[in-house]
Structure 1
């Protein structure tokens, strides 16, 4: 029974993806053709143009759930979140506070952009705080 299901996935998944892409492209085409010609005075589009617009938007604006890497809470890869949660649980309260402060310092935007990241961002427990020079 498992072999039948395993072999069936190779047939079912591409068909499901093609069906989903077709439905989304049809919806994009209908929304475009019903709204935009009257509002923005653009021409109507075909099904294939709608599919291209959808794929282009996915390439430019991302796949998956919203949030992205700068999107705030819940963004990022699940494996990275789990890794950071495990690391955070094993820290002492002093290490947690140092880590939080270091992340605040790095994400704070000054007059010249972001604080920047160096390669050893996870070595916060061995670093001494940097002293500002005037």
Structure 2
């Protein structure tokens, strides 16, 4: 259809290798930044020892596992922002009178508890 399919397949593999190489370099650079920041800041402020490069990479991976996981993109949040068609969308489409009535209903609900 658009030429040699093996050529397109090869281009796709080159892109994947390029992205993998980019993320590897990015990981190594961020590991160096973690080591540099740790070694310049923490030993001066706290009684902390200096890190080696391997320890900095391990700390980076450990923090990513404990606090950030390995997902990219949307991380969640409140239901108000997660589904605009849910509460936020309804709120934005209400008139001022409807908003006032909605607030009154919630005040009554909260006072009952």
Give the TM bin, normalised by the shorter chain.
0.5 to 0.7
Moved over 2 A (4+): 1-5, 63-70, 80-85
The TM-score, its normalising length taken from structure 2, stands at 0.57
Instruction: State how many pairs are aligned.
Output: 98
The TM-score, its normalising length taken from structure 1, stands at 0.49
In the TM superposition, 1:31-110 aligns within 5 A as 31-62=37-68, 64=72, 68-70=76-78, 81=83
In the TM superposition, residue 65 of structure 1 has moved relative to its aligned partner by 6.1
**Residues 82, 16 of structure 1: CA spacing in aligned structure 2 closer, same or farther, 3 A cutoff?**
farther
Structure 1: which 5+ residue stretches go unaligned? 105-131
Q: Output the CA distance in 2 between the equivalents of 1:84 and 1:5.
A: 43
Confirm or deny that 1:22 pairs with 2:28.
Answer: yes
In the TM superposition, residue 9 of structure 1 has moved relative to its aligned partner by 2.3
Q: Secondary structure at the match of 2:49?
A: coil
* Higher gyration radius (CA): 2
Structure 2: which 5+ residue stretches go unaligned? 1-6, 107-111
**What do you get for the CA RMSD once the two structures are aligned?**
4.1
**Residues 18, 36 of structure 1: CA spacing in aligned structure 2 closer, same or farther, 3 A cutoff?**
same
Q: Which has the higher contact order (CA 8 A, sep 6+)?
A: 2
Greater helix fraction, Structure 1 or Structure 2:
2
